[in-house]
Structure 1
Amino acid sequence: MNSRRDFLQKVSLGIGVTALAGLPATAAAPSVPLVRAEKQLRVAIMGLGGYANIVADAMQKCTMATLVGVVSGTPSKIDTWKKKYNIPDKNTYNYETVSELKNNPDIDIVYVTTPNSLHHKHVLQIAATGKHVICEKPVADNAKQTREMIAACEKAGVKFYIGYRLHFEPHTRELIRMRESGELGKIMHVNNYMGFKSGDPTQWRLKKALAGGGAMMDVGVYALNGARYCTGEEPIWVTAQETKTDPIKFKEVDETITFQLGFPSGVIANCGTTYNFNNFERLYVIGEKGFVELSPAFGYGPIKGRTNAGPMNMPPHVPHQTLQMDGLADIILNNKPDPHITGQEGLKDMIVVDAVYESIRKGGQKIFINKA
């Protein structure tokens, strides 16, 4: 597999119909015409790489969110996207003209999908234009940058969200419902991991200046975020260990990390992430009354799950990005509840990521998490 995108695309199969409690019905069966809502969230995408293409394709099935603009430093990509998605010239920008977004009333929000270490710069730029922002995860290189991004958006009076697509995914939402309702009883243990074998050694994800870090930043955040929604708590300490079997390929970034999170209730979550092998994707939460296992748990789907009562029978698979973007539109346009996808949610993850790296630097020492 050449990249994270290739890996996740291989597990992204099928298109179907769904209607989630508290969220709009966001996709129609192939034989049913797509009916768009009267109110639309008008979206521009910044950074037209692999993931941007996945988001754009999924948005063609949205009923409440519409792709209307692009920001890219590559003119040929802009030309391709204009033709493919019928984007007008007036809604296209490069990185030098992005400030002109402030004069465009036809764009409501910009989705930043540039490499990780550019998120901080680009979110600040978008906030300054007065447009709402959604930023792909990981939100930034560290918690300090994240706080600056949140402050900039607050100062500009714009909304700031993170691309936590799984917070709109049916199996994940059902897990959270079961935990919140008490069906699982007191949570006793969590075991989460996410990783894959990284291919092309020249890709940007292996360059610290663009990626900020390696497997932990890219996909370890899934296991971390999952531990938080499995418990409904914030970790108070972390220990972490790194294994590096290919010091040449992974010279600049981490290869494989295991980490343990301690929660106020006494629960310990055992987590892991890697860039060096496949078949490493699972979420498992055990309570006094039952359990939930998702495997696959974090990829683009279909997600598969089971509980102590048997298989989780969810609606047919819909692209997660379709659910995410329609769900985000419902939040912004109709004031629907936020399922924990704001910049503050991203900050909570980055505080722990910082502690993971600190523990590794200190030889696996227990790091007590300072949320200040």
Structure 2
Amino acid sequence: MKSRRSFLLKTGLSALAFAVPKIESFSGGSPKKFAAIRPVQDGPVLKVALMGLGSYAARVADAMQSCKRAKITGLISGTPSKLESWSKKYAVPEANCYNYETYHQIKDNPDIDAVYVITPNALHKPHALGVAAAGKHVICEKPMSINAKDAREMVGFCEKAGVHLLIGYRMHFEGNTLKVVNMRRDGAFGEIKFFQGLSGFRIGDPNQWRLNAELAGGGAMMDIGIYSINGARYMVGEEPIWVTAQEVKTDPVKFKEGVDETITFQMGFPSGVVASCLSTYSMNYLDKFFLNGTNGYAEMQPSTGYGPIKGRTHQWPLDEPHVTHQTTQMDEMAAIILDGKKASIPVDGEEGLKDMVIIDAIYKAVKTGGKVNLV
């Protein structure tokens, strides 16, 4: 397994050399006031290839069976047995199955409109660029890269290629999340004063790629901490202007150099709002958002899990019906790509880049022990 991952990393990075030359060119009222999301309209179906057939891809694939606007039409994996079993399970023709050395051939395949990149973090950039060079739209799992520099290159490359770059922010389409965001936008909470985001769980297998600095680009922050970063931004409705951060590592054997175990971090916003957050791989039951304003509050727990999302505001419980997040995400992304629909909370490459800039700053703050300005 380790050798296959090394091969993936090498072949993924080598895709850059192949790909780059290809591009030329509120206070009261009824809860109904805060409708969560406009339904996706009927229309053409987005033909999607899944790249990287791991556990999360399996979740996405199963969820897509209920999609109205997105369908699995291609598979990309370095494991022949997965290609065989997945092609049978999801009725994907053998001709639409590729490995990491041949996936560039999707350029000539009209059965594929977009590729959902669900490979290890360090491979997101080379794989996304390879897909874009083939003229296909890119849906990339978060974090979109391992640093802001790579994220900027991804955004620019996809723009030049004339393809969409969307990031897998499933919470941006979740009903209760959107209800809270819409309440905040309509002034239901008054002046926002504080946000708290707790994101963490106890990670298992010490040999998994998420604990490999080379493949993950970090540790808990890259995997789970990004939820509190992104959540703070859409819950507060501003972009942070500074960060501070502190790291605690209790198990240096499991969490080696470059792999963060626990980081507490703070973000300051232009209005004076402060976000206090925690990212960890060593504690369970940490999936909570709390937004406080002069006229009210919103509390969500769980706030970013696979669902259902639960919580309440100062006015009423959060009770939007649960729909599998990835089903909604893929239908909404199909509407963005095919219909030009605008997401209520952006899910484009620029949105992903903003999170990467903040993550870079948090890691810098951990090392320096000081405040890192973002503007």
Q: Shared topology, TM-score over 0.5?
A: yes
CA contact (8 A) 1:23 1:330 kept: no
Q: Secondary structure at the match of 2:352?
A: helix
Query: Aligned-pair distance for 1:123?
Result: 0.6
Query: Aligned-pair distance for 1:20?
Result: 5.2
| 1:279-314 deviation line (CA, Å, top 9, x unaligned) | 111000011111111100011011101000131121
Query: What stretches of structure 2 of length at least 5 have no aligned partner?
Result: 1-34
Letter in 2 for 1:282: K
Instruction: Give the counterpart of 1:281 among 275, 284, 287.
Output: 287
Query: Aligned-pair distance for 1:38?
Result: 4.7
1:70 equivalenced with 2:69 (yes/no): no
Aligned mates of 1:182, 1:58 — CA distance in 2:
34
Q: 2:353 — aligned with what? A: 347
Aligned mates of 2:231, 2:47 — CA distance in 1:
30
Q: Which runs of 4+ in 1 moved over 3 A?
A: none
Q: Size of the alignment, in residue pairs?
A: 339
Name the TM-score, length of structure 2 as normaliser: 0.89
| 1:56-77 deviation line (CA, Å, top 9, x unaligned) | 0000000111111011111000
Change (3 A) 1:270 1:20: closer
Aligned mates of 1:245, 1:47 — CA distance in 2:
32
1:292 equivalenced with 2:294 (yes/no): no
Instruction: Give the counterpart of 1:113 among 90, 101, 118.
Output: 118
CA contact (8 A) 2:200 2:284 kept: yes
Map 1:184-263 to 2 at 5 A.
Answer: 184-252=189-257, 253-263=259-269
Letter in 2 for 1:126: V
Aligned mates of 2:36, 2:273 — CA distance in 1:
30
Letter in 1 for 2:200: G
Aligned mates of 2:72, 2:36 — CA distance in 1:
22
Name the TM-score, length of structure 1 as normaliser: 0.89
CA contact (8 A) 2:115 2:138 kept: yes
Alignment identity in percent?
56
RMSD: 1.1
| 1:317-358 deviation line (CA, Å, top 9, x unaligned) | 211000100111111222211231000000000000000000
Aligned mates of 2:319, 2:205 — CA distance in 1:
37
Q: 1:23 — aligned with what? A: 39
Letter in 2 for 1:154: E
Letter in 2 for 1:293: E
Aligned mates of 2:39, 2:136 — CA distance in 1:
23
Aligned mates of 2:253, 2:107 — CA distance in 1:
44
CA contact (8 A) 1:165 1:320 kept: yes
CA contact (8 A) 1:22 1:336 kept: no
| 1:124-179 deviation line (CA, Å, top 9, x unaligned) | 11110000000000010100000000111011100000000000000111111011
